[in-house]
Amino acid sequence: MNYLIVRRLSTQLKLAQIPNRKWKSVVGLEVHAQISSASKLFSGSGTSFGAALNTSVAYFDASIPGTLPVLNRKCVESGIKTALALGCQVNEVSMFDRKHYFYADLPNGYQITQQRAALANNGKMSFPVITPGKKVYYKSVQLLQLQLEQDSGKSLHDEHLKRSLVDLNRAGLPLMELVFAPDLETGEEAASLVKELMLILRRLQTCSCKMEEGALRVDANISIHQEGDPLGVRTEVKNIGSVRSISQAITYEIHRQLDTVAEGGLITNETRSWDAENRRTVAMRDKEVLQDYRFMPEPNLPPLHLNLKPGSQSTEELVSVAALSEEIPELPEDTRQRLVEQYQLNAETAIILVNEPILLEYFVNITRDLSAVPTKVTSNFLINDLLTYCHKSNLNVEDCSITANDLKSIVKGLHTEQINLQAARQLIQLLHTSPTAKVKELIEQHSLEQICDLETIEAYCQQAIANQPKAVQQYHKGKAKALFAIVGEVAKISGQKANMKSVVACLERMLKATKK
Amino acid sequence: MRRHLQWSIKQLTSSYADGQLSPRRVAEQALEDAVNLKTLNALVRLTPEEARQQALESEQRYQKKQPNSSLDGVTIAIKDNFCTKNVHTTCASRMLQDFVPPYDATVCSRLRQAGAVLLGKTNMDQFAMGAGTVDSIYGPTKNIWSEDLTENNWRIAGGSSGGSASAVAAGLCFAGIGSDTGGSTRNPASYCGVVGLKPTYGLVSRHGLIPLVNSMDVPGIFARSVSDCVEVLNAVAGPDGKDSTTIRQPFTKLQLPELDAIGLGAVRIGIPKEYHCNGLSAEVLETWTKVADLLECAGASVQQVSLPNTAASIFVYSILNQCEVASNMARYDGIEYGHRAADERSTEQLYAQSRAEGFNNVVKTRILTGNFLLLRKNYDHYFEKALRVRRLIAEDFAKVFEASSKEDRVDILLTPTTLTEAPLYNDFSSLSNRDQCAVQDFCTQPANMAGIPAVSIPIRLSKAGLPLSLQLMSRSLNEQLLLSVARWIEAQVAFDSLDHRLEQKLSL
């Protein structure tokens, strides 16, 4: 008895010795990616998004008695390619299972998935984490499992007529479920992981990754604990509709849990839904009773055997993993390294270009066709000017109506000093608002041509020096930065058209002369 | 009785070819007989329009001397758990009472292609859960061999494919399609005195067969002779892209040797001692011994073998059956098809009420038990363990069929099919469904565990004038030898499937 008390006291003492231990957040993701495929996972019906309700439904998808699943080989191949690209170990034999639950949009009363033996395990992903205002860093996450499974249909609830309607177009669509280890800490890391995953899947063409169409769905498991303690109780956040929401939802949920604990509350194991409009997670009311899915092997599908032998070829009977590995294109991280090596770009530039596939495409095109232009001129223009413009205008780069050729003309103009940066920026805006216009015509129309004539520039400089006596004075006193004020004056006088390089040289020369 | 009913399918189709008989006449007479024999309750639905149209087309093909196959114009009946396009397929349940499939099961489409004439759909136990064809919303099927067909003194046809067995035994059609999960084809074949074949698992497509236990279900074939059975098997067997569990290698049509060319000298017959079980009637035992002697006298080597795990089979079967039933029945929620209750207060209420009204007690009991056995906490203890024992049972067969020493190896196992002659309805229905199946499936369901082919052939009549049958089993895909031996026995015992003096009984 005494001993116990002492023990307890000593433990409490220990705890007290570590005041304000740091709270840590732990985040794990589960991603459902619809496999791009002409037909469903186990039936021959079509998969196009937005087809008229209940028109892409084979008898099997509607669970008509007597119908049987037939595994779509294309989906298996896409799953394998994805697994290989994510460094997984592809399993020689995988199996399908039935997961039972009753829901109106689940016609069979069970989902066919892979519970006991998945297609692939033990992958790893390394990806850059981009947090606004912070230095980019790399994070690694383990991919525990990649499995194939069917999607469910969709229930539509008509509150007015008090009835539910079911659309089975989605029922049976092929999904890859990717289960990641809880190796992440923040919303930004989670969003960056998904961003990288999307880049990879798009390269592989195994998923369209259109979150707005539900082609990629992300569920996040979140918990908090104090350093040194075991993991806390986790909540699951569903219904996250965009990459940006991933970061927001997780950040919100971490803070909600921290606040709850700070107020002396308890975190309960529950499923919460992201409310994008009000920017908060809310507890989902339904099915929080403990579900027992009564898993059972799917008896209508024989085990899926794959050929793992190096150098093997696929046959009608057996898919060769080695043959598929030959089809894997360059992956985003390889591209980044190649950009750094081949084009002497810095790592951050490479990350930005790769993360915006269209920018990368422009970059590669322009540098290929304009070999005289330093790659930096091109990458700087694309990132600092084009991308910034798009961000400011709330525009996807893909949706900006400037063509690759327009961009090439602008970069060329920059390089030959026909136009300056100000003009280039103006051109982006003009081209976006009137997409049919030609760069050359716009330069003439808006007289955007850069002024390089030395006499004109000298005249501008003279006037600027006269207009900025204070700055001149400071400059002479040794404050070199004061020159910018005078340069700015020239820019103003010339209508932003003077060649700034020439202006600086001219000013320096003239100021040196007047100092005497 | 119509003369052509005594004929084999081969004789029937050659009479079509030389114009002696016409498919239309045979179909018309079959439809007429079916109405006259309504008391048997073999068919739950006649398909006169299909039958007449198919017979007409068949006749035209014969006139052009271009029959589709050796089954062209042959009347068949199909168990009501095989989907038939635009023809009700009910599984003899309220749940599917109004279900009209939009497609043909592979077995049905292949028969159609072969030119067979569909007479109608046959009675069964609800969702094939039974061994008597007594649990049907259409009422029980009677055994044509019954001493008394009038009161409740009649004999059961066996099940669950009792309707097809009964239809073939009554001469309504030349062949019937059943399904066999634990003996559902062989059991009624045994009671009704016809040949009942359960092919190797995966040899015949299950696409369109409404499942009972997917990993054991096999389409079965009824006929009045082994050769007729082969004709049907040849039409329906072979790989099917719509059923991933069909055996991929192409199917070579069976061609049985002529009777006098069947030599038994090289055939090794095994008599598994475990099949000498409790409840085996003296008459069946005597029949078993007689046929074993017959084979031995003809030069076959006959020896006792052991299949030590046989007794466990019934329990394993019971667990796997109920688990798969629980899963397979989950789709019947009244949303897409099937019975929908009027209660629409909530989706859950709609499910519950539809299922409560649509299923009988046997089905409900199996669903509840199966779901219990599949719970996470029970899975390993029941389902997983049952799978392991199932493998042991399959290995028992592998050991006797593939033993390394030639002395221990056998080609064919000879066993009873059912333990007794067909029971009286009153006796049978006093037992629970569980006991009905446990007793009646004892000798038949191990073959389903192992996926091996098995055939029941009628041997002789009991003292009560009822058929007594025996079962032959062989290793997977060994139908050729299995049916050759069956044919040899058939010729020796000369059982007449139509010798039930039905007209006499009906006129009494």
Whether pLDDT at B272 is above 80: yes
Asked if residue B396 lies in contact with residue B310, where contact means CB atoms within 8 angstroms, the answer is: yes
Query: Is B310 inside a domain boundary?
Result: no
Count of structural domains, chain B: 1
The tokens for B385 are: 């363990």
Asked if residue B209 lies in contact with residue B236, where contact means CB atoms within 8 angstroms, the answer is: no
Q: Count the helices and strands in chain B (H runs, E runs).
A: 18, 11
> Which residues, other chains included, contact B9 with Cβ-Cβ below 8 Å and sequence gap of 6+?
B70, B71, B74, B174, B175, B223, B227, B228, B231
The tokens for A364 are: 């590669």
C-alpha angle with apex A445: A444 to A446, nearest 5 degrees? 95
Which residue among the candidates B22, B58, B109, B160 is catalytic per the annotation? B160
- What ranges in B67-207 are assigned the alpha helix state H? 106-114, 162-169, 186-192
CA–chain centroid gap for A263, Å, is: 35
The tokens for A103 are: 């829901």
Of the partner residues B91, B331, B335, the one whose CB lies closest to the CB of residue A104? B335
Minimum Cα–Cα distance from A302: chain B residue: B245
Q: Which of B316, B460, B334 is nearest to B390 (CA)?
A: B316
Reported in sequence order, the residue ranges of B187-230 that DSSP labels E, i.e. its strands, are 195-198, 218-223
Q: Which of A303, A71, A101, A64 is nearest to B215 (CA)?
A: A303
Query: Is B51 inside a domain boundary?
Result: yes
Structural domain spans, chain A? 23-297, 332-445, 454-515
User: Do A70 and B209 lie within an 8 Å CB cutoff?
Assistant: no
Q: Does B348 touch chain A (CB under 8 A)?
A: yes
pLDDT at A119: 98
CATH number at residue B245: 3.90.1300.10
pLDDT confidence band for A249 (50 / 70 / 90): very high
The tokens for A192 are: 């960056």
Q: What's the CATH class of domain A454-515? A: mainly alpha
Asked if residue B469 lies in contact with residue B189, where contact means CB atoms within 8 angstroms, the answer is: yes
- The answer to which of A27-41, A148-162, A243-257, B307-321 has the lowest mean pLDDT is A148-162
At B65, give phi and psi (nearest 5°): 60, 35
Q: Does B330 touch chain A (CB under 8 A)?
A: yes
**Which residues in A lie closer than 8 A to residue B241 (C-beta atoms)?**
70
**Which residues in A lie closer than 8 A to residue B335 (C-beta atoms)?**
104, 107, 166
> Which residues, other chains included, contact B373 with Cβ-Cβ below 8 Å and sequence gap of 6+?
B319, B322, B323, B326, B379, B382, B383
Distance CA B220, CA B228 (A): 13
Q: 3-state secondary structure string, B271-297?
A: EEHHHCCCCCCHHHHHHHHHHHHHHHH
Angstroms from B374 CA to nearest CA on chain A: 5
User: Do A299 and B214 lie within an 8 Å CB cutoff?
Assistant: yes
Average pLDDT over residues A433-455: 86
C-alpha angle with apex A384: A383 to A387, nearest 5 degrees? 55
User: Is residue B79 flagged as an active site residue?
Assistant: yes
User: Do B208 and A66 lie within an 8 Å CB cutoff?
Assistant: yes
State the angle between helix axes of B361-374 and B310-328 in degrees (0 to 180), rounded to the nearest 10. Answer: 100
Query: Which residue has 């320096």 as its token pair?
Result: A508
Predicted confidence (pLDDT) per residue in A57-78, tens digit: 999 999 999 999 999 999 999 9
**Which residues in B lie closer than 8 A to residue A63 (C-beta atoms)?**
331, 336
Handedness of CA A93, A98, A103, A105 (dihedral sign): positive
**Which residues in B lie closer than 8 A to residue A292 (C-beta atoms)?**
375-376
User: Do B335 and A107 lie within an 8 Å CB cutoff?
Assistant: yes
Query: Is B484 inside a domain boundary?
Result: yes
Please report the number of interchain residue pairs, chain A to chain B, with beta-carbon separation below 8 angstroms.
101
**Which residues in B lie closer than 8 A to residue A296 (C-beta atoms)?**
323-324, 327, 374, 383
Q: Which of B193, B266, B176, B282 is nearest to B229 (CA)?
A: B176
- The answer to which of A81-90, A490-499, B200-209, B219-228 has the lowest mean pLDDT is A490-499
Whether pLDDT at A10 is above 60: no
Interface test with A, best of B100, B103, B181, B335 (most A CBs within 10 A): B335
Minimum Cα–Cα distance from A301: chain B residue: B244
Q: Which of B431, B440, B428, B472 is nearest to B453 (CA)?
A: B472
User: Do B327 and A98 lie within an 8 Å CB cutoff?
Assistant: yes
Distance CA B80, CA B124 (A): 7
Asked if residue A305 lies in contact with residue A288, where contact means CB atoms within 8 angstroms, the answer is: no
Strand partners, B270: B303, B413
Of the partner residues A66, A296, A300, the one whose CB lies closest to the CB of residue B374? A296
Q: Does A59 touch chain B (CB under 8 A)?
A: yes
User: Do B330 and A108 lie within an 8 Å CB cutoff?
Assistant: yes
Query: Is B293 inside a domain boundary?
Result: no
Kindly state the DSSP code that residue A366 receives in the 8-state scheme. H
**Which residues in B lie closer than 8 A to residue A43 (C-beta atoms)?**
none
CA distances from A429 to A293, A392, A420, A495 (A): 56, 11, 15, 17
User: Do A107 and B336 lie within an 8 Å CB cutoff?
Assistant: yes
Q: Does B186 touch chain A (CB under 8 A)?
A: no
Percent of chain B with pLDDT over 90: 89
CA distances from B507 to A172, A273, B144, B439 (A): 58, 75, 14, 34
pLDDT at B145: 95
**Other CB atoms within 10 A of residue A48 CB:** 9
Average pLDDT over residues A396-410: 87
Q: Which of B7, B468, B455 is nearest to B226 (CA)?
A: B455
| Parallel/antiparallel/unpaired status of strands B454-461 and B467-474 | antiparallel
Which residue among the candidates B93, B166, B184, B484 is catalytic per the annotation? B184
Kindly state the DSSP code that residue A117 receives in the 8-state scheme. S
User: Do B207 and A66 lie within an 8 Å CB cutoff?
Assistant: yes
Whether pLDDT at A398 is above 50: yes
Asked if residue A189 lies in contact with residue A139, where contact means CB atoms within 8 angstroms, the answer is: yes
The tokens for B306 are: 């052991």
Predicted confidence (pLDDT) per residue in A313-362, tens digit: 999 989 999 999 999 999 999 999 999 999 999 999 999 999 999 999 99
Asked if residue A253 lies in contact with residue A268, where contact means CB atoms within 8 angstroms, the answer is: no
Average pLDDT over residues A400-407: 87
Asked if residue A318 lies in contact with residue A92, where contact means CB atoms within 8 angstroms, the answer is: no
The tokens for A276 are: 């994008």
Distance CA A45, CA A52 (A): 13
Handedness of CA B367, A69, A89, A217 (dihedral sign): negative
CA–chain centroid gap for B495, Å, is: 19
**Which residues in B lie closer than 8 A to residue A301 (C-beta atoms)?**
244-245
**Which residues in B lie closer than 8 A to residue A68 (C-beta atoms)?**
206-207, 242-245
**Which residues in A lie closer than 8 A to residue B244 (C-beta atoms)?**
68-71, 300-302
Angstroms from B281 CA to nearest CA on chain A: 36
Kindly state the DSSP code that residue A159 receives in the 8-state scheme. T
Interface of A with B in 88-127 (CB under 8 A): 98, 100, 102, 104, 107-110
Distance CA A433, CA A427 (A): 10
Domain with B14 in it: 3-259+418-507
Distance CA A479, CA A467 (A): 18
pLDDT at A141: 98
**Which residues in B lie closer than 8 A to residue A300 (C-beta atoms)?**
214, 243-245
Whether pLDDT at A442 is above 90: no
Angstroms from A220 CA to nearest CA on chain B: 25
pLDDT at A515: 67
Angstroms from A153 CA to nearest CA on chain B: 12
CA distances from A176 to A32, A109, A318, A387 (A): 6, 20, 20, 32
State the angle between helix axes of A357-369 and A347-355 in degrees (0 to 180), rounded to the nearest 10. Answer: 110
CA distances from B423 to A319, B161, B314 (A): 53, 16, 20
Distance CA B285, CA B278 (A): 11
Query: Is B149 inside a domain boundary?
Result: yes
Distance CA B88, CA B101 (A): 7
| Parallel/antiparallel/unpaired status of strands B117-122 and B43-46 | antiparallel
Q: Does B209 touch chain A (CB under 8 A)?
A: yes
Q: Does B208 touch chain A (CB under 8 A)?
A: yes
Q: Which of B27, B61, B59 is nearest to B46 (CA)?
A: B27
Asked if residue A110 lies in contact with residue A98, where contact means CB atoms within 8 angstroms, the answer is: yes
pLDDT at A286: 58
Angstroms from B120 CA to nearest CA on chain A: 19
Of the partner residues B83, B91, B241, the one whose CB lies closest to the CB of residue A70? B241
Query: Which residue has 């109506």 as its token pair?
Result: A401
Angstroms from A291 CA to nearest CA on chain B: 10
The tokens for B320 are: 């796997």
Query: Is B238 inside a domain boundary?
Result: yes
Q: Which of B255, B208, B263 is nearest to B227 (CA)?
A: B255
Mean pLDDT of chain A: 90
User: Do A62 and B336 lie within an 8 Å CB cutoff?
Assistant: yes
Distance CA A274, CA A191 (A): 15
**Which residues in B lie closer than 8 A to residue A109 (C-beta atoms)?**
327, 329-331, 333
Query: Is B366 inside a domain boundary?
Result: no
Asked if residue B107 lies in contact with residue B82, where contact means CB atoms within 8 angstroms, the answer is: yes
Distance CA B95, CA B91 (A): 8
Helix (H, G, I), strand (E, B) or coil at A23: strand
Q: Which of B423, B450, B111, B135 is nearest to B272 (CA)?
A: B450
Asked if residue B122 lies in contact with residue B161, where contact means CB atoms within 8 angstroms, the answer is: yes
Minimum Cα–Cα distance from B321: chain A residue: A299
User: Is residue B184 flagged as an active site residue?
Assistant: yes
- What's the whole-model pTM score? 0.91
User: Do B374 and A299 lie within an 8 Å CB cutoff?
Assistant: no
Whether pLDDT at A4 is above 60: no
Whether pLDDT at B381 is above 50: yes
User: Do A68 and B244 lie within an 8 Å CB cutoff?
Assistant: yes
Percent of chain A with pLDDT over 90: 62
Predicted confidence (pLDDT) per residue in A265-319, tens digit: 999 999 999 998 999 999 986 555 678 999 999 999 999 999 999 999 999 989 9
The tokens for A508 are: 């320096």
Query: Is B61 inside a domain boundary?
Result: yes
Whether pLDDT at B190 is above 50: yes
Q: Does B244 touch chain A (CB under 8 A)?
A: yes
Distance CA B82, CA B218 (A): 11
Minimum Cα–Cα distance from A108: chain B residue: B331
Interface test with B, best of A57, A59, A67 (most B CBs within 10 A): A67
Asked if residue A409 lies in contact with residue A415, where contact means CB atoms within 8 angstroms, the answer is: no
Average pLDDT over residues B45-72: 97
Kindly state the DSSP code that residue A322 receives in the 8-state scheme. H
